[in-house]
Structure 1
Amino acid sequence: MASGLAVVGVRAGGVAELIVDGDTGVLVEPPGLALPRAVAELAAAPERCRALGAAARRTVEGRDWAVVFDALLEHYQELISAATRPAPQVVRLPAVTPAPRARRAAAFFDVDRTVVSGSCFLALARPAWRAGLISIRSLLRAGVHQAFFSALGARSDHRLGRSTRRAASLIAGMHVADVRRVGRRALASRVLPRVHPAARLAIDAHRRAGDLVFLVSAAPEELVGELATLLEVDGYAGTRAEAARGRYTGRLLRVCHGEGKVRAVEELARAHDVDLSCSTAYSDSSSDLGMLRLVGRAVCVNPDSRLRAEARRRCWEIRRFDLGGTATMSTPQQVAERLNAAFNDKDWPKLAGLMADDIECITFANAVLRGIDENRAYYATWWNAFPDCRVTAHSHHLDGETLIEEGTFTGTHRGVFRTPMGEIAPTGRRVQAEYINVITVERGRVARQRLILDRLDLLDQLGMVPSLIAS
């Protein structure tokens, strides 16, 4: 317009506000053949082109920086003048009801072999024997149980509930105060030194992100509670033993294992208004599959064989924590593979779990999406328009934490396809388009993403672009 040329635009957004149809340019309805037809008509009418171009030039002259600056200066002068006038009378408005508070995300950590190397119960058993609370025979039984569980992992999980009840019988008749005292000493001398540094880093990362953090373990509630205090987390759940008149009875009120752990997580979520679909769970054992399926993001730490197989099948994140302080994070390629699997499964919770909370994504149409919610709406657009859509990666190129993936998008157009130029009704056509996906991974999640695809080719396959336009 500033060059004095005739302009053809789509009746959408700011273009429709700037162009007066038939006066300063031509507006057409999206999508379809209206745009190329309007261009062809103007090309055949040079006099009309010159008239529209001259009118367009006059329109934008009023938007020159000098004109805009003068108007802005005048506005500031009005504001300064208004500031020197007497203050207006204050009118008290009725109180406005605040908007509902958004539900929070949380991180749920299993304890034994996830946060801590080894068993909390065994850490309690030895000091309890030294304090004369249990016999050497009971201590040996506890050691055998721990060795068996460590060696067999998931294959011994069915024994854990029975072993937990047997452990409760060991403390029958003991004073609650004595067990708590021994437990505090055991934590300080035997448990805290065996907390994985990588687990501390993960807890700190969730705190910085504003997430609540909970410990959930089959270990005695007294031990889990003390550890939760020392690690400064927001809450905990553990196996609860019955006590009467200050002594343990040997009965259990709650076993925080398997389905019991699932119920404990659900109770914590309700009590703290937590959105589980946006939350994370960490565990090493297949006995916690119920808890891991409950949340949007599952992280398998030092997983047993069964959990490792399930994690690979579900594209869950796998990490290795050790006392040397290392945590083997997922590589950018592994994150990309899980993204593709979640996209193909139309699994939004899993997809959201792979994204940073402040993710920034630049789409095929160069729109910038910020945050989880904007990305959710964008993915829904593609899933609704192409219900059977899939992406298949062909190659990956890595540059530090940034991965460039080349692949193919396929799908059948069976739903309304919403584009920046308007809605495209279902055509039933099968499409195939090459794409490039550039992702930057930070702390195992996608922080930035850039999607590149030949949109003209895609629209052509949908029949929206004519194969030949007469000049």
Structure 2
Amino acid sequence: MSRIPRLTPARAALAGDAAAAQAAAAPAHDADIPVDPQAGAFFDCDNTIMQGAAIFYLGRGLYKRKFFSSRELARFAWQQAWFRVNGAEHAGHMADAKASALSIVQGHRVTDLEEICEEVFDEYMADKIWPGTRALVQMHLEAGQRTWLVTAAPQEAAKVIAGRLGMTGALGTVAEAVNGVYTGRLVGDTLHGPAKAEAVRALAAKEGLDLSRCAAYSDSSNDIPMLSLVGHPYVINPDADLRRHAREQGWRIRDFRTGRKAARVGIPAAAGLGAAAGGTAAAVAMYRKRH
């Protein structure tokens, strides 16, 4: 792949200029940079792209709009606090959150939730994005590679997060709707653990991707199946089990929670991204200096 000529979109996004970032991200990659049709990157969301869990921020936004009671909000708040302290998903908490979310949206219109997801991103999620992971997304895009968000969060929220980061697309948990109204049931199962890996495998087949040329990023041991699919697995802000597994497998580990200077973080370079790595690290440093 040819040398990457510039990193303007990443610098715009990481400098905190929303208008410039949106303009730079459309199209997702520079027209002068050749797309690698067989390489791509898959990013987990919760504690990988953003601090905390998307579904809990969505719950907070829905409560603000009187979708449910203060008692249900307290449960969401407790789950979010647990997640932030432990930095990992727990099957019981995720199942409880899923059941709560389905009951909350039942009877509401899909278009209403899509609009709310846009608002919730601005209200609660935008300032929770990890600068280091955001830089990694931009690094892949500017290398002409496609990127996808892959998350257990609702598909509506996943699309908004991916769109705001200029990503190619998103895979999320799909809630059933009939005539544009939610039924309170899922289409398939929650996109979590092995189900996430299978979704990535199916997407790769559909898009003609060579998984050995692809990268994946996650914080959770639940995503070991997805990380194991690709030729370039990277561990971001890992839980204890994933950190141990990554060390055993020789996977690269990056932790953006430590407060270390960007120059010492050492942004990893996936296949074909060596030329972009240095510029992306500089972009992270620029972002942190300005904030």
TM-score, with length taken from structure 2: 0.75
User: Between Structure 1 and Structure 2, which shows a larger proportion of helix residues?
Assistant: 2
Q: d(CA) in 1 for partners of 2:229 and 2:146?
A: 16
Q: Does structure 1 residue 321 correspond to structure 2 residue 256?
A: yes
CA spacing shift, 1:296–1:286, aligned 2, 3 Å:
same
1:176 pairs with one of 92, 95, 110: 110
Mapped to 2, the partners of 1:225 and 1:155 lie a distance apart of: 21
Q: Which structure has more strand as a fraction of its residues?
A: 1
Root mean square deviation of aligned Cα: 2.8
Q: How far did 1:267 drift?
A: 2.0
- The C-alpha deviation readout for 1:443-465, integer Å capped at 9, x for no partner, is 5xxxxxxxxxxxxxxxxxxxxxx
Letter in 2 for 1:121: I
Q: Distance in 2 between matches of 1:224 and 1:355?
A: 24
> Which ranges of structure 1 fall in alignment gaps of 5 or more residues?
1-100, 336-353, 360-440, 444-471
Secondary structure of the 1:239 match is: strand
State which of 204, 209, 212 in structure 2 corresponds to 1:277.
212
Letter in 1 for 2:253: I
**Is 2:135 the partner of 1:201?**
yes
Amino acid at match of 1:357: G
Q: In structure 2, do the counterparts of structure 1 residues 133 and 208 end up closer, same or farther at CA, with 3 Å as the change threshold?
A: same
Count of aligned residue pairs for this structure pair: 242
Is 1:279–1:296's contact at 8 Å kept on the other side of the alignment? yes
Match of 1:302 among 237, 246, 252: 237
Would the aligned equivalents of 2:59 and 2:101 in 1 still touch at CA under 8 Å?
no
Aligned-partner Cα distance in 2 for 1:326–1:247: 45
Q: Per the alignment, in what secondary structure is the counterpart of residue 47 of structure 2? A: coil
Q: Contact between 1:203 and 1:213, CA under 8 Å: does it hold in 2?
A: yes
1:289-438 alignment, distance < 5 Å: 289-322=224-257, 326=262, 329-330=265-266, 356-357=271-272
TM, length-normalised to structure 1: 0.47
Kept in 1, the 8 Å contact 2:53–2:83? The answer is no
1:249 is matched with which residue? 183
CA separation in 2, counterparts of 1:169 and 1:159?
16
Q: Which residue of 1 aligns with 2:222?
A: 287
Summarize the Cα distance change of 1:356–1:224 in structure 2 as closer, same or farther, 3 Å threshold. Answer: closer
Q: After superposition, what is the alpha-carbon deviation per residue over 1:210-260, rounded to whole angstroms, capped at 9, x for unaligned?
A: 211110011110011011111111111001101123221111113110111
Structure 2 CA distance, aligned partners of 1:358 and 1:285?
Answer: 24
Shift of 1:326: 3.6
Letter in 2 for 1:186: V
Distance 1:318 1:328, change over 3 A: farther
Of 147, 155, 163, which aligns to 1:221?
A: 155
